[in-house]
Amino acid sequence: MYLSMVVPCFNEELGLQRFHDALVAALSEGVRDYEVILVDDGSTDRTLREARRLAAANPRFRYVSLSRNFGKESAMLCGLRHARGDRIALLDADLQHPPELLRRMLPLLDSGYDQVVARRSRSGERRWRSTLARAYYRAVRRFAGVRLLDGAGDFRVLSRRAADAVLSLPEHHRFSKGLFSWIGFDTAYVSFRGVPRRDGRSKWTFGALLEHGIDGLTSFNAKPLRMSIYLGALVVLASAAWVVRAAFETIVDGSVLPVDEALLVGLAGMGGLQLCFLGVLGEYLGRSYFETKCRPHYLIKERSPELGADVVARRLRPAELVS
């Protein structure tokens, strides 16, 4: 099969028909051999009913329904495991990932790239949001050890080799944008201008974005732990300098710093620093705890009869990724 498209869906009842029409129109001229896998991530509305209806009306559309909301990362992984195509596209159902952009992305993939990534510009976005996003991506590039470009999200097309490389990574906490960067391979970028949602609201709350951002910073190395060592050493040096200065002023001027003030400042500073270190350490310990459980990333409640079992039913070894 030429192309598989993986579409995570969560409460997209109102927009699935519009997405279907836009995608079919975008592929009607250049691509004939394709499949669309709708992954219902435990929606609480009628998304599953809409997915069943579209699958019945269009044989190219198939669906998988998860037993509950496991999150977009698990939904994408489920879709990748069911995809049968030589090329696999990941895009959202809310049309913020324009399907017509695939016309530009697929020729680049066929020219020799293993990944073609759609990079969204931030024109028209609120200034505070774009400023925070740029700061976060700079922090990830500096501390996480993977190359992430601002605006490069999950909307991308992968070769079969790149998709198999991602599927061979077994970790439970998955930060897909980082994993896509970590596997390497030749990557091309296509810019596009973001468009607002036409139906419903974004599922990314501030809390969800914050947790996702922490995943990105801690998923690939232990640099935050090393930073805590440096920061601790800096606090010790600052405290020593403060003690030396206070002693010097006492000897020269005879002034005495109130003991209660000194204790309060010192205890508050050291206490906050220790809590910060414990939080960083706890984050890594918690990740190790969940990894040792080896629970599945998701459970399937229902799927199209045409899909059958996961295409990738076993873990690939590194030697099997070489084509």
pLDDT for res 118: 87
Closest CA to 34 of 83, 91, 97, 98: 83
pLDDT for res 222: 55
Collect all residues with Cβ–Cβ distance below 8 Å to 54 and sequence separation of at least 6.
16, 17, 20, 38, 61, 63
Q: How far apart are the first and last CA of the chain?
A: 18
DSSP label of 98 = -
Distance CA 178, CA 201 (A): 26
* Average pLDDT of adjacent 10-residue blocks, the chain of 323 residues: 90 89 86 89 90 91 91 88 91 88 89 88 63 66 66 85 88 77 85 66 54 57 61 67 69 65 65 67 66 76 75 44 39
Residues 11-57 have pLDDT tens digits of 888 888 999 999 988 888 777 789 999 999 988 889 999 999 999 99
Distance CA 88, CA 2 (A): 9
| Phi-psi category of residue 105: left, alpha or beta, with phi > 0 → left and psi -120 to 50 → alpha | alpha
pLDDT for res 293: 64
Please, are residues 12 and 51 in contact by the beta-carbon 8 Å criterion? no
Reading the block at residue 199, the tokens are 């139906």
Residues 53-87 have pLDDT tens digits of 999 999 999 999 999 888 888 898 989 999 988 89
Distance CA 17, CA 21 (A): 6
pTM of structure: 0.67
